Amino acid sequence: MTMNNDPVKALKAALTDKLHIDLKSNPVTVALEGSSIIIEGMVEDIARKKRALLIAMGLPGVEGVIDRLRIKPSNPMTDPEIRDHFYAAVEEEPTLKTAGIRAEVKDGVVDIEGTVGSLTHKRLAGVLAWWIPGALDVINSLEVLPPMADNEDELNDALRIVLEKDRLVDALSLTYSNRDYVVTLNGVAGSAEERHAAEEDAWYIWGVNDVVNNIRVEPASVHQLP
């Protein structure tokens, strides 16, 4: 079996060559289970996690992906601490605190359940979980009732709210758009850290498959768009 028709070898090569993941210092295991591929381990950030999963989904012969990838926490926390942080964040959101959202946390993985009134609420709740420093992964199981169709405006609305809420980002200095669940960010940031924070915010949003970050870093500017 050559690499071209061996999904395990193909995915390992992509993790190294395309995503620049050192599989020695960041052990990620890949295995086949029937026609599904299992990917397990820990990566540096949400971008690598999502891109790895998309690459796996696109491999010939792969019909399903079992996701066991985790994100390295910026501040390790216990499961009760993570759960308390999430509920505190939800309590501060008037549109979410009465929705009856529940969170189960096991080994750093936050599973959000319950019902919300819109896709924007579902996406915001997911980002609040991702923002917890100790969260390793987020499973957004929230149900939207009544059901509603997704579209570019819905995703843009969630992105606007998230960027405005992130204290590390000057949302007024950014513009954004999305097509086929690919978000494009433009504008000016005052630092590389701010630029990275805006990109991570986009990746955290449920449904986003890729992010194109065209934000310029201009530390000396007032970084506001004309």
Q: What is the CATH number of the domain that holds 31?
A: 3.30.70
Confidence band for 24, pLDDT divided at 50, 70 and 90: confident
Task: Determine, yes or no, domain membership for 47.
Answer: yes
Instruction: Return mean pLDDT, the chain.
Output: 93
Q: Which pair of structure tokens corresponds to residue 34? A: 């029937």
Identify whether 192 is part of a domain.
yes
Residues 83 and 30 in one domain: no
Residue 161 is part of which domain span? 152-217
The pLDDT score that the predictor gives to residue 209 is 95
Res 223: pLDDT:
58
Task: Please determine, for residue 27, whether its predicted confidence score (pLDDT) is greater than 80.
Answer: yes
Predicted confidence (pLDDT) per residue in 149-192, tens digit: 999 999 999 999 999 999 999 999 999 999 999 999 999 999 99
113 vs 143: CA distance, rounded Å = 7
Q: Is the pTM of this model over 0.75?
A: yes
Distances (CA, A) of 152 to 13, 93, 119, 127, 128: 33, 23, 11, 18, 21
Number of domains in the chain: 3
Q: Exposed, middle or buried by CB within 10 Å (0-12, 13-18, 19+), for 103?
A: buried
Residue 172 sits in the same domain as residue 135: no
Confidence of residue 112 (pLDDT cuts 50, 70, 90): very high
Domain boundary among 98, 119, 144: 144
